[in-house]
Structure formats: C-alpha cells, structure tokens
Amino acid sequence: MADPEYVCMLTLKALATRCQSLAAEIAAADAALQEILDTYAPMLCDLPGVGTEVASQILVTVGDNPDRLANEAKFASLVGVAPIPASSGKTTRHRLSRGGDRNANHALHQVVLVRMASCRRTKEYVHKRTAEGKSKREIIRCLKRYAAREIYRQITNPHAAPNNADLRQKRNDLGLTLASVAGHLGQWPSVISRLQRGVIRNDDLATSYRQWLTERTAKIPI
C-alpha cells in the first residue's frame, strides 16, 4: 500500500516543477514580446499602467487597423472608448461605447485599474469626480478615454520617460531611507525604488519626489 505522505510529496514536486516550467515559458514569452515592443513602440511601456501585455495588445489592434490611426478620434473609436451621447431631457450624459476592438478595450481597462490603485493624479481625479456625483462606471469611461489619448500620442509621436537617476543620489546625499520617502509620499518603498531605477514611469510622483528632496536640501544649513 502506497504511503500517503510519499504520494503527497510526489504530487507537490510535480506541481512545483510545472510551476517553474510555466514561469520559464511566461518569461520567454515576455522577452519575445518586449523585443517586438522595443522595435515598433519602444516608449509605449513608459506610460503609467502600460505593461508588456497591454502594449502588445494595443500594437496587435493597431497593426490590424492601420487605417484607423489618422487621428485621435478614430483611434478612440477603434479601442471602444469614444463616448456615446445618452442625454435625456435636461440631463446631459454619455455612456460607455460597446463598439471597437474589445481586446484593446480590455487592455485600456487594465491600465485604468492600475492607475486608480497606484497613480496619485488618477486617485485625485476619481475623488473629485465622485464628489461631483459621477458614478464609478462614468469615471472609468473618462479615464479610459484619457488613457487612449496618451497611448495614441505615444504611438504616433513618442516621448521618452524622464531620467530619474538623480533621485536616488539626492536621497542618499540627504541620508534618507526608501521607507521614509515612501511614507511621506504615500507609496510603497518598492514603488519608489522602481521609480528611481527607471523600471516604472510616474511623472507626477517623480515631480513630487524631486520637489520634496529639493525642499529638504534647501533647509540644510550652509
């Protein structure tokens, strides 16, 4: 009769091996996608919330519909974020578009969710529009439209992310830890570290970070 503990260990080993294999496959796929992105849209992932998968899907949609890149409005319609009037009486409102490429629309939705969770500018916008009586669905519709505008401009007229290499040196010169900076800016230390290393792009956070460091430097007696 088989030992239950032995069988359990064999099963766990098989699962662990499979997990490692899948992780390697994912890493290889990401590397291949990144190589394509570096060739055709090297700065697309510089935008906040735009990762390899999102950028790849956007490029697939754009590649299948090159005739719909003539202007920003056509691109917004392509990715399903062109607002559709839905006013009645004295109420003026718009509803979410159900047209366009749904995969690209889902990619934009992921961008918005990431920004709502980690981007201070987006959080402030959500708070402002919520106070104005806007529903979460309406706010997300607006944010997806803004994200589409940024992505369109980055595809048609790319701009590199600002160089934030100076932030780490300034922090070290002031003797500040990642934890102290993160606590002041309301971020996780890992986010600050990735921002300094250029792994992520968040222009608003970088500006606030640099301004705070500059203010701290000015307070140091000469």
Output the CA–CA distances (angstroms, integers) from residue 113 to 2, 80, 108, 139, 191, in the order listed.
49, 17, 9, 11, 16
201-211 pLDDT, tens digit each: 777 788 889 99
Given a cut of 70, whether residue 91 has pLDDT beyond it is no
Q: What is the dihedral of CA 126, 127, 128, 130, to 10 degrees?
A: 80
Residue 91 bridge partners (DSSP) = 88
State the distance between the two ends of the chain, measured CA to CA, in whole angstroms: 80
Given a cut of 90, whether residue 100 has pLDDT beyond it is no
Three-state secondary-structure class, residue 212: helix
More confident residue, 93 or 75: 75
Highest mean pLDDT among 4-8, 85-89, 160-164: 4-8
Distance, C-alpha 34 to centroid of its chain: 16
- All residues at 6 or more sequence positions from 11 whose CB lies less than 8 Å from its CB, including other chains: none
DSSP character for 187?
S
More confident residue, 33 or 87: 33
- The fold adopted by the segment(s) 165-218 is 434 Repressor (Amino-terminal Domain) (1.10.260)
Once rounded to an integer, what is the mean pLDDT over residues 86-90? 64
Given a cut of 80, whether residue 2 has pLDDT beyond it is no
Using a 10 angstrom Cβ sphere, with 0-12 exposed, 13-18 middle and 19 or more buried, the burial of residue 163 is exposed
pTM for the predicted model, two decimal places: 0.65
More confident residue, 190 or 221: 190
Domain boundaries, the chain: 21-156, 165-218
Given a cut of 80, whether residue 97 has pLDDT beyond it is no
Residue 85 bridge partners (DSSP) = 94
17-68 pLDDT, tens digit each: 999 999 999 888 888 887 888 777 777 887 888 888 899 899 999 888 888 8
108-166 pLDDT, tens digit each: 999 999 999 888 889 989 999 999 998 898 899 899 999 999 999 888 877 766 778 88
pLDDT of residue 86: 63
- 178-185 vs 203-218: helix crossing angle, rounded to 10: 110
pLDDT of residue 191: 82
Task: Share the mean pLDDT of the chain.
Answer: 84
* 8 A C-beta contact, residue 105 and residue 81: yes
